[in-house]
């Protein structure tokens, strides 16, 4: 039996964002860039997620309370859980994230897991930057990463081609 999916699309300062949920948890949050999206009816989880995103962009929310469900490898899920521990307005490097996880030599693998994060904003992968202060990558686009960091009052990251 296929699980029921629900979704809601909203306009934000970084463009359209779609939240997708099961009956009990948020499973995907993506920035919609020129592409088809799967539309489903909203539910209580998508409504709560949409409300919290609006509050985040209004500057009144720093912590999300929507239940999330991770669907990835055990390593990816561990990285995503660690991302949730990065406080609002703070950044860490890929190397630092690895050290926190007891995997200091796994920066490249951690970068791969960060890049596959399915829960934009709710699992704050935008708060991970390179050790040299460069932005690194961002699946939703560097313009969105910069906008999210600036919204949180983060400064001091290096600008330049591809975050270098």
**Positions marked active-site:** 125
CA distance 111 to 155: 21
Q: What share of the chain is helix, strand, coil (3-state, %, to 5)?
A: 35, 15, 50
Spatial contact of 21 and 27, defined as CB atoms under 8 Å apart: yes
Spatial contact of 49 and 8, defined as CB atoms under 8 Å apart: yes
Give the residues across from 20 on adjacent strands. 7, 28
Distance of CA 89 to the CA centre of its chain: 14
Q: Is 81 helix (H, G, I), strand (E, B) or coil?
A: helix
């Amino acid at each position: 039996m296929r699980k029921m999916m629900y979704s809601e699309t909203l306009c934000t300062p970084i463009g359209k964002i779609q939240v997708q949920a099961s009956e009990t948890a948020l499973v995907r949050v993506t920035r919609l860039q020129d592409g088809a999206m799967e539309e489903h009816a909203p539910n209580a989880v998508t409504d709560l997620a949409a409300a919290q995103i609006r509050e985040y962009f209004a500057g009144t929310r720093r912590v999300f309370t929507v239940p999330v469900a991770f669907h990835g490898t055990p390593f990816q899920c561990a990285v995503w859980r660690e991302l949730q521990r990065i406080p609002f307005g703070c950044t860490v490097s890929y190397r630092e994230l690895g050290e926190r996880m007891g995997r200091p030599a796994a920066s490249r693998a951690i970068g791969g897991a960060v890049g596959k994060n399915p829960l934009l904003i709710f699992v704050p992968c935008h708060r991970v930057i390179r050790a040299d202060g460069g932005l690194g990558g961002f699946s939703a686009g560097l313009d969105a990463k910069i906008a999210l960091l600036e919204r949180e009052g983060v400064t001091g990251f290096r600008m330049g081609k591809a975050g270098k």
